[in-house]
Amino acid sequence: MAKLKFLIKPPRFLFFTGKGGVGKTSLACATAITLADAGQQVLLVSTDPASNVGQVFGMTIGNKITAITAVPGLTALEIDPQAAAQVYRDRIVNPVRGVLPETVVKSIEEQLSGACTTEIAAFDEFTALLVDSALTGDYDHIIFDTAPTGHTIRLLQLSGAWSEYLEEGKGDASCLGPLAGLEKQRVQYKAAVDTLADSKRTRLILVARAQQATLREVARTQEELTAIGLSNQFLVINGLLPQSETARDDLAATIFQREQKTLAAMPEILKPLPRDHIALKPFNLVGLAALRQLLRDELSAADDSDTTHQAMAIPGLSGLIEDIARDGCGLIMLMGKGGVGKTTLAAAIAVNLAHRGLPVHLTTSDPAAHLSETLSGTMDNLAVDRIDPHVETERYRQRIMQTKGAHLDAQGRALLEEDLRSPCTEEIAVFQAFSRIIREAGKKFVVMDTAPTGHTLLLLDATGAYHREVVKQMDSHSIAHYTTPMMQLQNPRQTKILLVTLAETTPVLEASSLQDDLRRAGIEPWAWIVNNSIAATTVQSPLLCQRARNELADIETVSNIHAQRYAVVPLLKEEPIGVQRLLELSESSQQ
């Protein structure tokens, strides 16, 4: 077996990062086992909110260093970022309960409920593992399943005066608020950040799939981390379909060709990176035997040449669209993580409704949606446009810097500028652009891809202090339209939220977390869509047959636990480009 590039002369710290569902945890676990099998002392640390390291090893780990008894030399630790964030919030909020009005306390809690708080709290937890101490002195390698983002690292680099900035009332924005709870010495954070930037001590492994969306995301991560000095990066393309599976399965052959074409057209910024390809495996990556096979070239697929998986009888997309069409108008929002196919499904739903003679406005904020290419034509009753998130975000940033930032000193402006790089900023800016369109939904169908998280929506709500900061920049006419969309999203008679996911453990967990987030904002998702399902199609490739069977448990979890109603869209041989193919996709019914 040729040695994988990212495992050649590995430094002490290895970070695996990438979008949810690309296989970070499995690769981190497999790497830890490989190094421990080679006689090294290894600590595996997970900071993933959906961590399943314990499940992978078949044992309970939790927030304490635990020996993996079946692998001499390997120990593991699961930092629960949600629990860390809750402790963090309690430390800040509990002293003011009963002292400040309840509405103010809720506002503070909401400011501390976002992704930035979770990430900063997790970083606060594992900082001690990045500096020399008795806790980590005996380990040859420490492997992290997920790394902090460039945004969080930049915030920590601006460590001079967040507390002063907040105490003087200069800001209480989405990411600076969480920084107020940091208690450890800033010198320790500086040492941790220095470790991350030291290529002799730290290596970042960017994990992606051969999909345009995940490659774009990892390219953004690469650029962001390089800009702050984290340059020792390797790229791993995980889950590639082996060519050997294409012999007698047209779907497998199409997938293989599509993946190879995607790799050839990957973002230029990624091409110079040392790169490894990991083959798609037919089995669930749970247990030592499976993990030890993950990094090997040989494939242990079921080799029964007579194997065929027949498409399962599962509710299709047409049933959902039938229910939507009965209302005659309304707002349809597709939400979910990147790479699950929201844009294509939004286009398919819009085309179906327009085909019925209903007026439809289809819009997206996905910078790579290329709706015109997906539609590949025009049709009656359908208006299409795209909101450019970069333009909207820059316009928003400039307005805030020209108003609120005008009265700050240089350090205060630097903090405000960094806070405005938060993902929440883009969501707020785009949502404001969306709000101008939402009013149309009383007279026609408005189909939107994508949407803000529940956390951002709550920040926008009238009770939030952050909302009041934003309102200062708006005239009375804008404020009226600004608050109305939130109320419309909470009204199930006016808005239907469709959560899009894949039939895989991590994407389902992430969609479930998004649903909880929305419910906290008073918004109840209307339906789930499981996209690109192998179980919903007929395949003959032994590997795809096994993966189809693996999907059934995740589809059952969606249907029995998470969704009020759901649909499953099969993995298609041909990409759904053009009005006719989108119409065929939307008309898919029970198999």
Which residue's structure tokens are 């809750």? 86
Residue 264 has pLDDT above 80, yes or no: yes
Cα-Cα-Cα-Cα torsion 60, 66, 67, 73, nearest 10 degrees, comes to 130
State residue 564's pLDDT score: 92
State residue 51's pLDDT score: 60
Angle (deg, nearest 10), helices 150-157 and 212-227: 20
Most confident of 172-176, 284-288, 336-340, 421-425: 336-340
Residue 322 has pLDDT above 80, yes or no: yes
Q: Where are the domains of the chain?
A: 10-204+281-294, 317-389+434-586
What does the pLDDT look like over 84-118, one tens digit per residue?
Answer: 778 878 877 888 888 888 877 777 776 677 666 77
State residue 306's pLDDT score: 60
Query: HSE (CB half, 13 Å, CA atoms) of 517?
Result: 24
For strands 495-502 and 13-17, give the pairing: unpaired
**Confidence band, pLDDT 50/70/90 cuts, at residue 124:** confident
- Determine which of 173-187, 210-224, 315-329, 344-358 has the lowest per-residue pLDDT on average: 173-187
Residue 438 has phi, psi (to 5 degrees) of: -55, -30
Q: Is 535 left (phi over 0), alpha (psi -120 to 50) or beta?
A: alpha
571 vs 213: CA distance, rounded Å: 17
Question: Residue range 301-329: average pLDDT?
Answer: 84
State residue 591's pLDDT score: 44
**Confidence band, pLDDT 50/70/90 cuts, at residue 554:** very high
Q: Supply the residues annotated as catalytic.
A: 21, 23-26, 48, 506
Domains 10-204+281-294 and 317-389+434-586 share a fold: yes
State residue 227's pLDDT score: 84
Output DSSP code: residue 560: I
What does the pLDDT look like over 432-455, one tens digit per residue?
Answer: 788 778 888 889 999 998 766 665
Comparing 328 with 147, the larger pLDDT belongs to: 328
What does the pLDDT look like over 479-507, one tens digit per residue?
Answer: 544 445 667 788 888 899 999 999 988 78
To the nearest whole number, what is the mean pLDDT of the chain? 82
Question: Would you state the CATH architecture of domain 10-204+281-294?
Answer: 3-Layer(aba) Sandwich (3.40)
Query: CB neighbours of 105 closer than 8 A, spacing ≥ 6?
Result: 93, 96, 97
35 vs 29: CA distance, rounded Å: 10
Query: CB neighbours of 245 closer than 8 A, spacing ≥ 6?
Result: 252, 256, 301, 541, 542, 543, 544
Residue 129 has pLDDT above 60, yes or no: yes
Most confident of 290-294, 457-461, 516-520, 559-563: 559-563
**Confidence band, pLDDT 50/70/90 cuts, at residue 160:** very low
Output DSSP code: residue 167: H
State residue 1's pLDDT score: 46
Question: Residue range 259-277: average pLDDT?
Answer: 95
Alpha helices in 80-197 (DSSP H): 81-93, 102-111, 115-126, 150-157, 162-167, 176-179, 186-197
**Confidence band, pLDDT 50/70/90 cuts, at residue 532:** very high
Most confident of 259-268, 375-384, 468-477: 259-268
408 contacts 170 by C-beta, under 8 angstroms: yes
291 contacts 526 by C-beta, under 8 angstroms: no
Total residues found in the chain within this entry: 591
Residue 158 has pLDDT above 80, yes or no: no
State residue 37's pLDDT score: 94
Question: Would you state the CATH architecture of domain 317-389+434-586?
Answer: 3-Layer(aba) Sandwich (3.40)
Residue 239 has pLDDT above 60, yes or no: yes
What does the pLDDT look like over 385-435, one tens digit per residue?
Answer: 888 888 888 998 898 888 888 888 887 788 788 778 776 777 778 877 887
522 contacts 486 by C-beta, under 8 angstroms: no
Tokens of 226: 């390089």
State residue 324's pLDDT score: 96
State residue 183's pLDDT score: 54
Helix (H, G, I), strand (E, B) or coil at 430: helix
Sign of CA dihedral 534, 540, 542, 543: negative
Give percent of the chain above pLDDT 70: 81
pTM across the whole model: 0.77
What does the pLDDT look like over 9-62, one tens digit per residue?
Answer: 999 999 998 877 788 888 999 999 999 999 999 999 987 655 667 777 878 888
State residue 86's pLDDT score: 83
Comparing 488 with 361, the larger pLDDT belongs to: 361
Comparing 339 with 473, the larger pLDDT belongs to: 339
Report the 3 state secondary structure along 55-99: HHHCCCCCCCCEECCCCCCEEEEECCHHHHHHHHHHHHHHHHCCC
What does the pLDDT look like over 460-484, one tens digit per residue?
Answer: 554 334 444 455 555 555 554 444 5
From the list 256, 258, 210, the residue with the least C-alpha distance to 235 is 210
Residue 348 has pLDDT above 50, yes or no: yes
State residue 463's pLDDT score: 36
State residue 27's pLDDT score: 93
222 contacts 269 by C-beta, under 8 angstroms: yes
16 contacts 28 by C-beta, under 8 angstroms: yes
